[in-house]
Chain A
Amino acid sequence: MSALLHNYVIVGAILFGLGAIGFLTRRNLIVMFLCVEMMLQGVALNLVAFGDLHKNFMGQSFIVFMLTVAACEAAMALAVFLVLYRSRRTLDVSVWQELRDPGQEAIVDTEPLPAEAGAEPVEYPKLIPAGVMPKPLQTTEAGESATEEVTRV
């Protein structure tokens, strides 16, 4: 027994709509990209459901290509995000509104943000650039000599 096509199309449409809302309204580049992927998932759901309806593998084959293109897209998008981040130190899309047409008004945040109530700022782990020896944790002489030895070896 399998669920009906009708239900699959409904769930796919809801995923697509939520993704569209997120893409329109969120300002973090990465979250926007996740929303686009979510819309793709909605479409994939439809393809699988219709493929099952027609009892052939066209829909499923198409999703394999969709996955490939999504993977390429993710790789390129991340590369572009890194470049953008390096030049502005932020992932905010509004920073790039200086690319707008001449004569259009800039969007400025007017409403002040309240201080985060009682929450301490979250610390994320930092990544060390590849190929660089991590700095020694202790600055004592014994520690330094130990790391130097490791470097020489």
Chain B
Amino acid sequence: MSKFFSWLVTYWYLVLPLITGFVAIVTLLPHPGKGAQGKIKAGLAAGVLTILLIGLLLMRSSGYVSVDLFFDAFAIVTIASAAAVIVQCNPVYSALYFAITVLGVCGLFLIKSASFLAAATIIVYAGAIIVTFLFVIMLAQQTGLADYDRRSRERIFSCLAGFVLLAAILFIIEKNFAVKDDPTLVVSTLKEAQSLTAPGRYPRTGVEILETLQVKGKPTEMVMMQQFDALSAWPEAEATRVQASKSWTEARTHLQANQAPRAHSALSALYAIADRMEDAHNRFSSVLSISTTPSLFHNRLSEKRQGTDHVNELGRSLFGDYLYAVELAGTLLLVATIAAILIAQEPVRKKVAA
């Protein structure tokens, strides 16, 4: 029991938004007693609190990067409007809020340099799907709020199910993806890596560094790539200075001189140094038994230097690697269109007979 509570306290930043979110969604979901003003206000307050806590959660995990305002803004717009979609009694408002959700997601796509997808998603979802839905709503529901829009099925139980699912996903993400943010790890890792080498020399092999680091932090391919992201988020001058340093001592001096030397950045700088070493690539791949790792690192580094044209590359990938799949998808669309027309057709013959 006490173990459970200590666990709750450790993960308060996940547990709190889940609880307030649950309260907000349960109070705001349409149900017969929703009319009371006090309840709606309490629900909205819980919702705002949840949004703030989620903002905190997002900033917390990107704490060592200078806060990415665009990401946070888009993420919060997306989440708030997604909650509004399921909470709104009026299906027309639901559809419009869904359009805002799609816009928020497209903003997030843009940040991850998926510009073509952002445009395509806006056109397909906000432009086509939402408008057709609005047509159907107008066709089907012409006066006032329907009875079934003001009730929900098993409000509390379904919220419970949904939030337990969400909690499980978030905890697993937190356990597997969160990079340990421990400043003391920097110095100790560097010391240990240096202790493997003769003083004033490069470490003997990349294998040795990796073994040390694996004992320390168990870096998987995922974690290592995240560390490269962290390095790219570092101030450019700092990162290059550390990467260009000729020995471990020099690297350590640079790291310690930095205002906030954090574990990830230091570790990725270590990898970068190991990367420069002769035939370090082969050793990386032999240790991690991943054949793609060296080229992957090369890609990331060269990408950072020159940047690529993402739309061109996506087009090349779609019409090169996935040409047959694209053709099949086109055929699927055609078949679906014909089927939709056939299904939705009014039974004409009956009318004539009548």
Contacts and interface: CB of A to CB of B under 8 A. Distances in A.
Given A61-B314, A79-B340, A27 B94 contact: no
A124 B120 contact: no
Interface residues of A, number: 89
Contact of A80 (B137, B177, B230, B343): B343
Contact of A10 (B105, B155, B161, B173): B173
Contact of B162 (A20, A30, A65, A114): A20
Interface of A: 1-11, 13-22, 24-28, 30-31, 33-35, 37-38, 41, 44-45, 48-49, 51-58, 60-61, 63-65, 67-76, 78-83, 85-86, 90-94, 107, 109, 111-114, 116-117, 121-127
A112 B229 contact: no
B114 interface: yes
Given A20-B162, A78-B133, A57 B62 contact: no
B340 A10 contact: no
Contacts of B98: 34, 37-38
A14 B166 contact: yes
Given A7-B58, A11-B108, A28 B162 contact: no
Given A4-B229, A18-B83, A78-B136, A55 B303 contact: yes
A111 to B, nearest CB: 4
B169 interface: yes
Nearest to B54: A14
B233 A1 contact: yes
A79 B151 CA distance: 25
25 contacts: A1-B66, A8-B108, A11-B75, A14-B54, A17-B165, A18-B25, A20-B162, A25-B154, A38-B85, A41-B102, A55-B303, A57-B318, A69-B332, A70-B125, A76-B336, A79-B343, A86-B346, A91-B140, A111-B33, A114-B35, A116-B144, A121-B143, A122-B90, A124-B138, A125-B138
B226 interface: yes
B43 interface: no
A3 B332 CA distance: 35
Given A10-B58, A64-B318, A91 B35 contact: no
Interface of B is mostly: helix
A124 to B, nearest CB: 5
Contacts of B305: none
Interface stretch (B188-196, B208-216, B321-329): B321-329
A120 B144 CA distance: 8
A2 B163 CA distance: 29
Contact of B129 (A17, A74, A83, A124): A74
Contacts of B335: 72
Residue in B145, B335, B336 with the greatest tally of chain A CB atoms within 10 Å: B336
Contacts of B140: 81-82, 85, 91
B249 to A, nearest CB: 29
B256 interface: no
Contacts of B117: 44, 48, 60, 63-64
B184 interface: no
A118 to B, nearest CB: 10
